[in-house]
């Protein structure tokens, strides 16, 4: 009996291969090792999970001890390697949404986007595609803070430790495996507690000299806007609400008189300065002003800076800041608050004004001071956490700004081919090396490396990549796969390890998650939703039905010549726009559903493989034409609506936990 260890066998191609082998070779034992991160999903293998010749093990290919334990336990003969590879919910980010700058918690941002967008569940993460939203997030770009388009927000449940990094630059809450930027602009692990990179220069200017809040504010401009800024800042720093009154405490009578005059210049209402227990109080009574404070500034511990303050000119923002510190510090430029949200908003205000500042810490409060800080203390603490953690995919940037003090943190989730090179290197290169070393130690009969056509780079309108074409990867993902391929080759040349490298073209078929190109187009069309196409849709891909890929790997496993590379292609070259139009035609849907969106970075123009080697030497040939494979794929998604609709609506999380929670310790 042959025993095959398949790594990454819960993903799209991997799960199709596992199912193919389990069903075709009942005399073989198939061991499926998968970490169940982004692409791994046990639901893909529900129909074979109880097969006597199949076993699943949750784990990572970088865990050398686990790999060796599995090889010893099951006496593995072959290895087929498919494997390829956050911020807390109360953390704050700055967004530019519907023409307005706002500070929102990750949780609040997700919940608001969820109101008008479908949530996709990929087996571990809830994902909202925000391509159709006019929303930007503050990022660090060209050495300054810049608002860049938000493409996706991702979250997943997390139970464990959260790190709090407190420094003069500010404070941020992240998971231990999250990355931040140090002051040299390098991505480093948060747990190393580096000196944090922060934003103090803003590539943004507010030119509005008026702001309108219908029904409540009416129109304020020029002097009236200045008056309003002073009043609201004074309320936030030392005021409270009581019985329809807005009450502001301060012992500087002249300051209260200025505020009283401001109030009279805007509102019709009562204004009175009194004394209460040795403290002067300004009592203001007006229905509209009370509503403004209630709706836009909140009360008590939940006080906040109104969003409009972030969207007016520096002249008015400066007035707001000086009024914020006037009452409590006699004009000394520092602001003390125990509210994390308010601290984050004050830091954003100072950034927009252009003031250098730092954060001092007093007990459980934030003391935000204008000026340069001389102390260099760095404190890192841990706390237990159970909830969601979040990531943002930002167009044209690998980071976003979060926390108190505008701290720059790394995007650790997407685009996995662009935004997360570190984890890809770890999985694809280090993980492959661990597998190779274990294969060498235990005398594995053959090691099959599943690679990608992306390692070759991009093509023009003509020509094909052969197995001898130079490797010119254009994305970190492709580069890490190319590095893994070279490692595999080196183990064959150096140690005589029997290996094969398989480089298939673009796969499609059953069990592919709906965020990928073909299933996204199919499922969106079935729901009469827009079909987003990068650029003008002219990019060309060479499509291969996944069952043909499985047959090719099976053939290479049994008959492939040691040390050889095999391209696998059905020579089905199609422009993206052609594929989309064909899907719409087969589903009898209108082309008006097509929506062109801004192209993504590192989007190679054309891939095309010459697969004559595997055809001539091993006798492989594709069974399915593109039209036949697409028909089968469309039919599968129509017949399995419950599967992909659960993913898109977010119900998949509860379904997944119900079926696999105990097995995977998800409860």
Q: Would you state the pLDDT for residue 376? A: 66
pLDDT digits (tens, 9 = 90+) for 227-255: 999 999 999 999 999 888 999 998 889 99
> From CA 400, how far away is CA 511, in angstroms rounded?
32
| 161 vs 93, more confident | 93
Q: Compute the average pLDDT of residues 265-271.
A: 88
Beta strands in 488-634 (DSSP E): 499-504, 506-508, 531-534, 540-545, 565-568, 573-575, 594-597
Q: Would you state the pLDDT for residue 466? A: 93
Which pLDDT band holds residue 409 (cuts at 50, 70, 90)? Answer: low
Mean pLDDT over each residue of the chain, to the nearest integer = 84
Closest CA to 30 of 12, 14, 6, 47: 6
Which pLDDT band holds residue 183 (cuts at 50, 70, 90)? Answer: confident
For the ranges 285-299, 594-608, 651-665, the lowest mean pLDDT is seen at 651-665
Which pLDDT band holds residue 412 (cuts at 50, 70, 90)? Answer: very low
Q: Would you state the pLDDT for residue 424? A: 55
CB 390 within 8 Å of CB 104: no
User: Residue 147: pLDDT above 60?
Assistant: yes
User: Residue 209: pLDDT above 60?
Assistant: no
In this structure, the answer to whether residues 561 and 649 fall within a common structural domain is: yes
Q: Would you state the pLDDT for residue 417? A: 42
| 536 vs 93, more confident | 93
Cis peptide before 415 (omega within 30 of 0): yes
Give domain status of residue 567, yes or no: yes
In this structure, the answer to whether residues 186 and 250 fall within a common structural domain is: no
Please give the residue range of the domain that contains residue 303: 211-355
CATH code for the domain in which residue 165 is found: 2.170.16.10
Under DSSP, is residue 98 helix (H, G, I), strand (E, B) or coil? coil
| 453 vs 32, more confident | 32
For the ranges 342-356, 400-414, 460-474, 544-558, the lowest mean pLDDT is seen at 400-414
State how far the alpha carbon of 67 is from the alpha carbons of 63, 71, 492, 663, in Å. 6, 6, 20, 20
Q: Would you state the pLDDT for residue 585? A: 93
Which pLDDT band holds residue 653 (cuts at 50, 70, 90)? Answer: very low
pLDDT digits (tens, 9 = 90+) for 637-649: 999 988 787 666 5
> From CA 189, how far away is CA 420, in angstroms rounded?
13
In this structure, the answer to whether residues 632 and 513 fall within a common structural domain is: yes
> From CA 644, how far away is CA 626, in angstroms rounded?
22
Highest mean pLDDT among 391-405, 457-471, 598-612, 623-637: 623-637
In this structure, the answer to whether residues 305 and 281 fall within a common structural domain is: yes
Q: With 0-12 CB in 10 A as exposed, 13-18 as middle and 19+ as buried, what is 504?
A: buried
Beta strands in 168-276 (DSSP E): 170-174, 179-181, 187-189, 210-213, 218-221, 239-242, 245-249, 270-276
pLDDT digits (tens, 9 = 90+) for 380-408: 888 888 888 888 888 877 677 888 877 76
Q: Compute the average pLDDT of residues 485-503.
A: 94
Q: Would you state the pLDDT for residue 664? A: 44
| 40 vs 534, more confident | 534
User: Residue 537: pLDDT above 60?
Assistant: yes
Q: Compute the average pLDDT of residues 170-188.
A: 73
User: Residue 422: pLDDT above 60?
Assistant: no
CB 390 within 8 Å of CB 125: no
Q: Would you state the pLDDT for residue 117? A: 87
Q: With 0-12 CB in 10 A as exposed, 13-18 as middle and 19+ as buried, what is 499?
A: buried
What's the distance, CA 612 to chain centroid?
39
Give domain status of residue 483, yes or no: yes
User: Residue 140: pLDDT above 90?
Assistant: no
Q: Would you state the pLDDT for residue 229? A: 93
What's the distance, CA 377 to chain centroid?
31
Q: Compute the average pLDDT of residues 565-588.
A: 93
Give domain status of residue 650, yes or no: yes
Q: Would you state the pLDDT for residue 205? A: 61
Give domain status of residue 206, yes or no: no
Q: Would you state the pLDDT for residue 190? A: 72
Q: What is the pTM of this model?
A: 0.57
Highest mean pLDDT among 132-146, 308-322, 416-430, 532-546: 308-322
In this structure, the answer to whether residues 351 and 221 fall within a common structural domain is: yes
Give domain status of residue 364, yes or no: no
Give domain status of residue 366, yes or no: no
CB atoms within 10 A of CB 26: 11
In this structure, the answer to whether residues 93 and 77 fall within a common structural domain is: no
CATH code for the domain in which residue 513 is found: 3.40.50.720
Under DSSP, is residue 138 helix (H, G, I), strand (E, B) or coil? strand
Active site residues: 453-454, 477
Q: With 0-12 CB in 10 A as exposed, 13-18 as middle and 19+ as buried, what is 608?
A: buried
Q: Compute the average pLDDT of residues 483-499.
A: 93
In this structure, the answer to whether residues 238 and 276 fall within a common structural domain is: yes
Q: Compute the average pLDDT of residues 23-41.
A: 85
User: Residue 8: pLDDT above 60?
Assistant: yes
CB 478 within 8 Å of CB 452: yes
Classify residue 153 by its DSSP letter.
E
CB 540 within 8 Å of CB 605: yes
DSSP 331-352: T-SEEEES-HHHHHHHHHHHHH
In this structure, the answer to whether residues 146 and 220 fall within a common structural domain is: no
In this structure, the answer to whether residues 588 and 446 fall within a common structural domain is: yes
DSSP 591-650: GGGEEEEPPPTT--SB--B--HHHHHHH----S--HHHHHHHHHHHHHHTHHHHHHHHHT
Q: Compute the average pLDDT of residues 603-632.
A: 89
Give domain status of residue 26, yes or no: yes
CB atoms within 10 A of CB 528: 9
Q: Compute the average pLDDT of residues 594-601.
A: 69
Q: Would you state the pLDDT for residue 389? A: 83
In this structure, the answer to whether residues 326 and 229 fall within a common structural domain is: yes
Which pLDDT band holds residue 426 (cuts at 50, 70, 90)? Answer: low
In this structure, the answer to whether residues 110 and 9 fall within a common structural domain is: no
CB atoms within 10 A of CB 581: 17
Q: Would you state the pLDDT for residue 663? A: 45
User: Residue 454: pLDDT above 50?
Assistant: yes
CATH code for the domain in which residue 291 is found: 3.10.28.10
| 515 vs 217, more confident | 515
In this structure, the answer to whether residues 124 and 66 fall within a common structural domain is: no
The percent of residues in the chain predicted with pLDDT above 70, rounded, is 85
The number of helix segments (H) and strand segments (E) in the chain equals 18, 34
Give domain status of residue 367, yes or no: no
Which pLDDT band holds residue 414 (cuts at 50, 70, 90)? Answer: very low
- The count of domains in the chain is 3
């Amino acid at each position: 009996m042959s025993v095959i260890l398949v790594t990454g066998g819960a993903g799209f191609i991997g799960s199709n291969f596992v199912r193919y082998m389990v069903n075709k070779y009942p005399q073989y034992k198939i061991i499926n090792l998968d970490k169940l991160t982004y692409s791994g999903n046990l639901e893909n293998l529900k129909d074979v999970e109880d097969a006597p010749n199949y076993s699943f093990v949750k784990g990572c290919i970088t865990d050398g001890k686990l790999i060796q334990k599995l090889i010893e336990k099951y006496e593995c003969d072959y290895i087929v390697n498919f494997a390829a590879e956050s911020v807390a919910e109360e953390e704050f980010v700055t967004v530019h949404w519907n023409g307005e700058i706002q500070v929102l918690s990750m949780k609040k941002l997700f919940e608001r986007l969820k109101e008008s967008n479908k949530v996709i569940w990929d087996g571990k993460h809830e994902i909202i595609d925000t391509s159709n939203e006019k929303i930007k997030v503050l990022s660090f770009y060209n050495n300054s803070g810049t608002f860049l388009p938000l493409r996706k927000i991702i979250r997943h449940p997390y139970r464990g430790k959260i790190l709090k990094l407190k420094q003069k630059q500010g404070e941020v809450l992240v998971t231990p495996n999250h990355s931040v930027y140090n002051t040299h602009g390098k991505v480093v692990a948060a747990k190393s507690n580096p000196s944090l990179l922060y934003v103090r220069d803003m590539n943004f200017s507010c030119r509005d000299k008026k702001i309108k809040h219908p029904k409540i504010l009416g129109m304020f401009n020029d002097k009236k806007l200045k008056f309003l800024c002073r009043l609201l800042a004074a309320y936030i720093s030392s005021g409270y609400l009581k019985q329809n009154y807005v009450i502001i405490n301060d012992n500087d009578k002249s300051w209260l008189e200025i505020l009283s005059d401001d109030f009279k210049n805007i509102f019709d209402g009562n204004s009175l300065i009194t004394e209460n227990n040795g403290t002067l109080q300004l009592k203001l009574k007006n229905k509209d002003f009370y509503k403004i404070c209630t709706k836009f500034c909140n009360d008590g511990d939940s006080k906040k800076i109104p969003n409009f303050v972030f969207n007016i000119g520096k002249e008015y923002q400066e007035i707001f800041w000086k009024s914020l510190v006037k009452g409590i510090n006699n004009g000394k430029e520092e602001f003390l608050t125990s509210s994390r949200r308010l601290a984050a908003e004050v830091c954003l205000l100072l950034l927009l004004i252009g003031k250098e500042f730092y954060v001092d810490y007093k007990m459980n409060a934030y003391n935000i001071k204008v000026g340069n800080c001389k102390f260099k203390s760095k404190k890192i603490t841990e706390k237990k956490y159970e909830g969601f953690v979040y990531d943002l995919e930002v167009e044209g940037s690998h980071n976003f700004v979060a926390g108190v003090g505008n701290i720059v943190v790394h995007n650790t989730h997407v685009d996995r081919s662009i935004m997360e090179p570190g984890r890809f290197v770890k999985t694809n290169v280090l993980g492959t090396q661990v597998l190779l070393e274990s294969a060498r130690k235990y005398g594995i009969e053959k090691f099959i490396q599943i690679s990608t056509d992306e390692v070759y780079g991009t093509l023009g309108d003509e020509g094909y990549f052969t197995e001898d074409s130079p490797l010119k990867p254009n994305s970190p993902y492709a580069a890490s796969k190319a590095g893994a391929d070279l490692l595999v080759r080196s183990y064959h040349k150096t140690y005589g390890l029997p290996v094969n490298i398989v480089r298939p073209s673009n796969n499609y078929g059953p069990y592919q998650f709906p965020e990928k190109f073909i299933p996204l187009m199919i499922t969106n069309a079935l729901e009469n939703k827009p079909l987003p196409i990068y650029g003008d849709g002219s990019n060309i891909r060479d499509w291969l039905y996944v069952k043909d890929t499985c047959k090719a790997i099976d053939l290479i496993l049994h008959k492939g010549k040691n040390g050889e590379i095999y391209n696998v292609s059905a020579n089905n070259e199609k422009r993206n726009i052609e594929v989309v139009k064909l899907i719409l035609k087969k589903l009898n849907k209108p082309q008006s559903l097509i929506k062109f969106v801004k192209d993504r970075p590192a989007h190679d123009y054309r891939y095309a493989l010459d697969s004559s080697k595997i055809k001539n030497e091993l006798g492989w040939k594709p069974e399915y034409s593109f039209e036949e494979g697409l028909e089968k794929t469309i039919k599968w998604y129509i017949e399995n609506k419950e599967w992909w609709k659960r993913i898109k609506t977010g119900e998949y999380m509860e379904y997944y936990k119900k079926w696999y929670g105990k097995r995977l310790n998800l409860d």
